[in-house]
Homo-oligomer: A and B are copies of this chain.
Amino acid sequence: MRGVSIIGIGTTPFGILEGKSLKEIATIACNEAIKEAGIEKEAVEAFYLGNFISGILLGQETIAPLVANSLGLPKQVPCTKVEGACCSSGIALRQGYLLVAAGLANFVLVAGVEKMTSATTEKNTEGLASAFDQETEGQTGLTFPGFFALIARRHMHQYGTKIEHLALVSVKNHGNSTANPRARFRKKATVEEVMASRMVADPLKLYDCCSISDGAAAAVLCPSDIAHQFSRKPIDILASAHTTGFSTTYEMDDPTILMATVMAAKKAYEMARLFPQDIHVAELHDCFTIAEIVDSEDLGFFEKGKGGFAVEDGLTQVGGKIPINPSGGLISKGHPVGATGLGQVYEIVKQLRGEHENQVRNAGIGLSHNLGATGQVCTVHIFKRRG
């Protein structure tokens, strides 16, 4: 295995990208990443595109070659769509990483895309629910706000986490994204506003939930030993892990622990030879406020049950012990499901280059955590700036 680095990133803003199709937004992000990498399109040897529900929402599948043709990649390039619910582009990154690490390719383009806002809310609900097992739990009518509400109630019961702790995650993330030009929401929120927002699935209110969004993000990978030829600030990928969790809630002994995250984190730390306390900045999968709290524990930043209190103590703010989601996260930056994983990577790369609009000082090592379905699939990546 050789080292792999990121030499170019690209993205659209996350939000309502009216008048722009799935193909167009994916093309914009990919073009930007290729341009930043300073490579010719002819140099791209493989393309992995993460996407979750373009089939259900838009009646459009087979989008990897479609986007590749829109981009103008050479026809001999193998193009693959990968799907793993909201973790789809975390998986795309990992597939590209494996190819370069193994020496099978030098330049790989990875991207994620989702176009959601042109579909109705009902269609989006149907699409997102396709990540449940439709033979079992999907039949109960459980939705993702419902699933994470169950986790929240259990977390509150077991550890004394308060509704205000959830609200504080939302307040932090809304505050963070005021500086982020890529974020869907750029307005601060107060605890009172979060608490007063309408109930979605008790105890989760509207401001506890990520928003349906459009967006695309992309990155160009190459071997670390030549990365400096293409980027003044290459970002090295120290670890890449991808795991499987339970398909249904009723199989989980303790739904306050998402095992796929715990296992992916363990693998990633071992691979990078690092510990949670070595991470300077992290983008976590906060599809709901409770998810950020659970993630922060499962990744080892805080002891199980202490995640809510850590938010209250300001430990996850920029300037705190471990700044979490300085981008605004899924809650305030937006969650175009198939694009989220690489959207997180975009933010971490900007942080490690020292170019972020909400910069964590001296950020040298970053982590991204992408989760799919009922914690059924997870990727964790660790990144490092040089020098």
Contact = CB atoms under 8 A, between A and B. Distances in A.
Interface of A: 1, 21, 23, 52-53, 55-56, 58-62, 64-66, 68-70, 73, 75-85, 91, 94-95, 98-99, 101-104, 126-127, 129-131, 133-135, 138, 242-247, 259-260, 263, 267, 372-373, 376-377
Contact of A62 (B65, B75, B78, B131): B131
B78 A61 contact: no
A245 B23 CA distance: 16
A60, A62, A84, A246 — most chain B CB neighbours (10 Å): A62
A345 to B, nearest CB: 18
Contacts of A99: 98, 102
B373 A75 contact: no
Closest 6 interchain pairs by CB? Answer: A102-B102, A78-B242, A55-B55, A61-B130, A62-B85, A62-B131
A86 B234 CA distance: 38
A260 to B, nearest CB: 7
B76 A263 contact: yes
Contact of A55 (B56, B260, B373): B56
Given A65-B373, A99-B98, A134-B59, A83 B81 contact: yes
Contacts of A73: 244
